[in-house]
Structure formats: structure tokens, C-alpha cells
Amino acid sequence: MINLVIKNLAQLLSSELSEIELNLRKIALDCLEKAIQSVMPRKLMEKSVKVMNNTLYIQDDVYPLEDFKTIYIIGGGKASANMFFSLEKLLLKIPNIQYQGIINVPQNQDVSIYESTSNVKINHASHPIPNQSGFEGTRKMMQLIDRSTSNDLIICLISGGGSALLPLPREGIRLEELRIVNSLLIASGASIQEINVVRKHLSSIKGGNLAKRVHDTSGARLISLIISDVVGNDLDSIASGPSVPDLSTFEDAKRILEKYKIWNKIPSSVGKVIEEGLNNPKLETPKEKDPSFSRVKNYLIGSVESVIQEIIPLLKRQDFLVDYFSNNMSGEAREFGVQLSHIIPEKLKLSNEEGIDKIALIATGELTVTIKGDGIGGRNQEMLLSYLNDVKNSISEYNHVIIGVNLDGIEGNSNAMGCLIDNNTISRISSQNIDLTQLLDDNNSNAFFKDIGTEIISGPTGCNVNDLLLILITKKMKDNG
């Protein structure tokens, strides 16, 4: 039996629940467990990358390894350590292969089981606000690039979280100033795509600048293996696209900072760099036809689609009609929670018209939270607390369970990956005097779910794709008595 990722399963499957509540929770949590397993980096790497007969195969492409003198392995993200462990197992099959490098991973990620004697260093750095360790690790990656030659291969391992884990400010910006901008952006309610537009234009590695650095120094072959955590799988947004042509501009970056009323709060040095970029086209990030990308290949090896492909058959075997109603879940978490209280009855009405007794609703994406309070929470917890606040006084005509989770295992500033709610949760709110509005205003959603025992705890999973929202609904049996 595989080791379970969800650590508080016994708490979530309490014997105090009704048989219906218990059964729905079991199905939902089983789907969640299998969803996480389906996007483990090891599994995704095994599907896309192989080594045979001194040849590296990546999806449909072939790279004879005798063509390269040295392989340099760099990168960063929540899944990058496990991506590397899988890659190294393949490289160790090749005699006389020379490889070295450094990977930046989250500081709370346990890599103690890793006992390699390779020259690739696993460097712990902070997320979501960058720190000095992340800066030093990224600087060392650039030193390796500067040492490479046109006969070398650089493999960059990229996953979500890479934007914070790979900090290398443009000349004129100090790390502390970059940290201030990151904090302002995260608290503003800006989408991850908008945040990354700004990050790209303050960085010497993001927004295609990694590819530019390789091209301008050695001209080595650059391959990026990428696991997506962004809606739409736009490669230029994942970890702010270090090896991908950038579609955004300095003008976009300034517009975003003004939109969220941050422009007048950022350090003067940051504003100066953006203004210089607006006036000097040579400072702009490299675009699609830039020669920097002539020896670059980017491979998307995993996304939330693997999760969907895994759980839909499971639900169908349980006789649920499955409706994957959104692969673009976005916007303010609190507002989406209110929308959800309308989406569910609408979907249920359609199923009633068709005589369907069991439906499963699925959405993927990434919501945002505008931070106004100093509580503990995360986007999925805030979304479902908002949903509860909207339906708390209504009488449910159906049995349902909802799970909202960040599949990397840590959400916001809480220790939870998300939470679970169902009819039992709504009943408990009705019987207790809990001020959900105040908890929402304080961004303190975790306090509620922790107190009622429905936060979902996994710890860092080592994988990183879009968030998952899963809703299971069954009709209540009519009382014929």
C-alpha cells in the first residue's frame, strides 16, 4: 500500500458522522489522495523523460549524450527537488557522464532521504517572499552558466514557486527592495499572472533572461522541463518563464503596479528601473523572435490535467455524473465562494431535470486573496468559508461534500493544504454562534476549519499544479412516512 499523503484522515472520517456524510467524505478524500499521487514529479518525469543507449529522450525529441561535454542542472520550484532525483536516477545509468549543478527548493521541504554523492546541490530558500539563500543559489546558477561552453547541455527544472525561489534582481535593485515589492503584490489581490509580469521586469533571470544569459555567454543547449501551476499552462507565467519568450512589457508592469495602487509604495530604485525600461528598448525582456531562443527547448511535462484524467474515471465508477465546469477558476476567493452558492443549485436543477441522483462538480485554477487582516488562512479556505457564510441559514435539499485544496500541500500562511465542508459543517454553524463575517474580514479562515476539525493536513507534497475544487452531491431520500 502506498503511503498516504493526507495525515489527518482519521479526524476527517470521524465515527460521529452519519453514514451518508462518512461515505461522501471517503469518496472525496480517496479522489484527493489519488489526485496528488497522479502529479507527483517522479511520475510525471517517468512519463516524459527516458535514457537509453547513451541517449536522452524527452517526449518526442532525441538528444545523443555524446554530443555534450558536461550537463549542468539548475532550476527551482516546489517540485524541482523531486524532478532532479528522478533525473539523476536516469543519468546514473550512463557511464562517464559529467554533471553538476544547483537547485533551489522551499526551505521546509524535507530532502533527507536524498543520499546522492553527485555534484548537484539542493539549496533551501524561502517562499513566497525571496531570501538571501535563494539569491545566493540563483547567483551560483549564473556562475555555472558563465562557465559553460557551446558543447554543454543545461537542463533547467522549473515548477510553481520558482518565481520566489529564483531571485536575482536587476542591477540597481537590492534583494530587500525586491522583497518589499513581492509582499505588496501578494497582499494586493493581483493575480499570479499579474504578479509575475512585474517580477519578470525586476529580474535578471525571469522573463526569458535565463535564455538570454546562456546565449550571450556560451551558447550552450538549454532544455527546460516544466510542471505547470498556472491557469492555461502559459509557459511564460510558470516561475515567471526564465527560458520562455516574454509577452509582457515594462509598460504592463507599471500599469499593474498602478492598478493595485502599489506604484507610489514601491522603493524608489524599483520605480527607477521600470522607468529606465520604459525609455530604453534594449532593457526589455527578450521576445519570441529573439536569437536567445535559437538553442532552447521548453517541455511541459505535467499539469492539473493529469489530476482530471485520474479522478474522473474514479467518480464515474461510483455512478456520479461528472461536470468539469471550470479549468479557469480565478478571481477573489471570497467572491468565488458566494458564486459557488449559486453555481451548485443551478447544476443541481439541471441534474434534477435529467433525473440524475449523483453529480460531481470539478473546477481547477487559482484564486487570489486581498489581505486586509492578520489572521491565518489560504485561498481555498477563504473561498469555502465565504460559501458557508452565504448558505449558513439555508436548508439544504441535498447531501454534499466540498473539498478545496492547494495540491502542493501548504496554503497561504497556514499549515493546511485546504479544507473540507459538508452538511455536517453547516449544521454545526447553525447550532453555534460563530461570526463567519468577522473571520473573513480578518483573513482568518483557518481558525474556523481547524476548530471544527476539517482542515486538510498533508505537509509539503513535493508536487505543484493548479488548485482543485471537488464537489460531490447526492439527493436526499424522501421521507415516505
290 vs 212: CA distance, rounded Å:
9
Residue 397 has what pLDDT?
Answer: 80
- Label residue 117 by pLDDT band (50, 70, 90): low
pLDDT at residue 430 is higher than 80 = no
Give percent above pLDDT 90 in the chain. Answer: 79
Could you say which of 3.90.550.10, 1.10.760.10, 3.50.30.10, 3.40.50.10180 is the CATH number of the domain covering 41-168+203-248+285-302? Answer: 3.40.50.10180
Segment 276-285 mean pLDDT: 96
Instruction: Give the cell for residue 372.
Output: 486586509
326 vs 151: CA distance, rounded Å:
45
pLDDT at residue 115 is higher than 90 = no
88 vs 81: CA distance, rounded Å:
11
Do 401 and 421 form a contact (C-beta atoms < 8 A)? yes
pTM (whole model) above 0.85: yes
CATH 3.40.1480.10 residue window(s) in the chain: 9-39+305-475
346 vs 334: CA distance, rounded Å:
20
Do 432 and 369 form a contact (C-beta atoms < 8 A)? no
- Label residue 211 by pLDDT band (50, 70, 90): very high
pLDDT in tens, 438-464: 999 999 999 999 999 999 999 988 888
347 vs 426: CA distance, rounded Å:
20
CATH 3.40.50.10180 residue window(s) in the chain: 41-168+203-248+285-302
Residue 128: is the preceding peptide bond cis (ω within 30°)? yes
Handedness of CA 13, 14, 18, 19 (dihedral sign): positive
185 vs 430: CA distance, rounded Å:
37
pLDDT in tens, 255-265: 999 999 999 99
436 vs 81: CA distance, rounded Å:
39
178 vs 180: CA distance, rounded Å:
5
Residue 478 has what pLDDT?
Answer: 53
pLDDT at residue 479 is higher than 60 = no
CATH 3.40.1480.10 fits 9-39+305-475, yes or no: yes
Which one, of 365, 239, 233, lies nearest residue 302 by Cα? 233
Q: What count of Cα atoms within 13 Å lies in the side-chain half-sphere of residue 73?
A: 25
Residue 114 has what pLDDT?
Answer: 67
Segment 172-183 mean pLDDT: 95
pLDDT at residue 480 is higher than 50 = no
Give percent above pLDDT 70 in the chain. Answer: 97
- Label residue 1 by pLDDT band (50, 70, 90): very low
Query: Across the chain, what does the average pLDDT equal?
Result: 92
